[in-house]
Amino acid sequence: MAGIQTQEEATKEDKLKAALWYSIGQTVDAVSMNQDVNATPHFIGGLSELVWAQIEDVTADLEAFAKHAGRNTINSQDVVLLGRRNEGLEAVLKAEAKHVKEANQR
């Protein structure tokens, strides 16, 4: 049933969230030191939750794109499609997808 997590899945999610929080905390600390500002743990926690929610949205979109194409695996076409509303991002994603495709053909 969708939405029901096993204990193992919940533990994995907690570990991923903790790793994300740590990584964001390190980045925020580095930027804060360079700009001579302070960031509270509350800010870092809020930013981490925001990023986690964005990751969940992107994941759902990528899974839907792959499913719509009749695939079980997400590929670079799905990622490029994700950036379709942002011209700059789309150009970067297309260039990277082309680079990866060329590297795989070698």
Give the domain CATH number at 28. 1.10.20.10
Does the pTM surpass 0.85? The reply is no
Query: How many domains, the chain?
Result: 1
What gap in Å lies between CA 49 and CA 41, rounded to an integer?
A: 12
Structural domain span for residue 49: 1-74
Contact status, residue 100 vs residue 76, Cβ threshold 8 Å: yes
Residue 44 lies in a domain: yes
Residue 8 lies in a domain: yes
pLDDT in tens, 42-85: 999 999 999 999 999 999 999 999 999 999 999 999 999 999 99
Residue 35 lies in a domain: yes
Residue 19 lies in a domain: yes
SS3 content of the chain, % helix, strand, coil (to 5): 80, 0, 20
Q: Which two tokens stand for residue 70?
A: 């009749």
Does residue 2 have a pLDDT over 90? no
Q: Which two tokens stand for residue 34?
A: 């360079």
